[in-house]
Amino acid sequence: MGRRCTARGSGRRRAGRVGGGLAALLAGLLVTGCAAFDTDDDVRRARELAAELYPGELEVVDARILFPETTGSEVTLSVEDDPDAAVRFRVDAGKDRCDGGPDCTDALREAVDRARREARDLRAMREAFDGCGHPVLAADEKLTAPWIEARVSDGTLDEVLARAGACAQRWVTARAEQGPKEVPGWVTVNFAAPGTAEDLPAAKKRLPTVLRLTHGPRLAALAGKAYYVAAYPVGEDAGHTVDAASARLRIVSPLEERQAFSRRIDASVLPALRATYPEAVTSGGAGMGVWRLEPGTVRRMRGYVLFCERPPADGERCPGDLAALVTSDPRGGDAEVVDVLTDIRDERGVLRLPPQ
Quote the pLDDT of residue 5.
52
* Most confident range, picked from 29-33, 218-222, 333-337: 218-222
Q: Note the pLDDT of residue 278.
A: 96
User: Which whole number is the average pLDDT over 161-180?
Assistant: 95
Question: Which amino acid, one-letter code, is at 50?
Answer: A
Instruction: Work out the average pLDDT over 210-219.
Output: 97
- For residues 314 and 241, the model is more confident at 241
- Mode of pairing for the β-strands spanning 292-293 and 227-233: unpaired
Q: What percent of the chain has pLDDT over 70?
A: 89
Binned at pLDDT 50, 70 and 90, residue 67 comes out as confident
What rounded mean pLDDT belongs to the chain? Answer: 88
Distances (CA, A) of 256 to 190, 221, 292, 301: 20, 15, 19, 18
| Amino acid (1-letter code) at residue 303 | G
Helices (H) then strands (E): counts for the chain: 7, 16
- Cα 147 from chain centroid (whole Å): 12
pTM: 0.83
Find, among 336, 334, 234, 231, the residue nearest to 292 by Cα: 231
Q: Once rounded to an integer, what is the mean pLDDT over residues 211-222?
A: 97
Question: 117, 95 in Cβ contact below 8 A?
Answer: no
Q: Is 67 helix (H, G, I), strand (E, B) or coil?
A: coil
| CA dist., res. 214 & res. 202, Å (int) | 10
How far is 346 from 352, CA to CA, in rounded Å?
Answer: 7
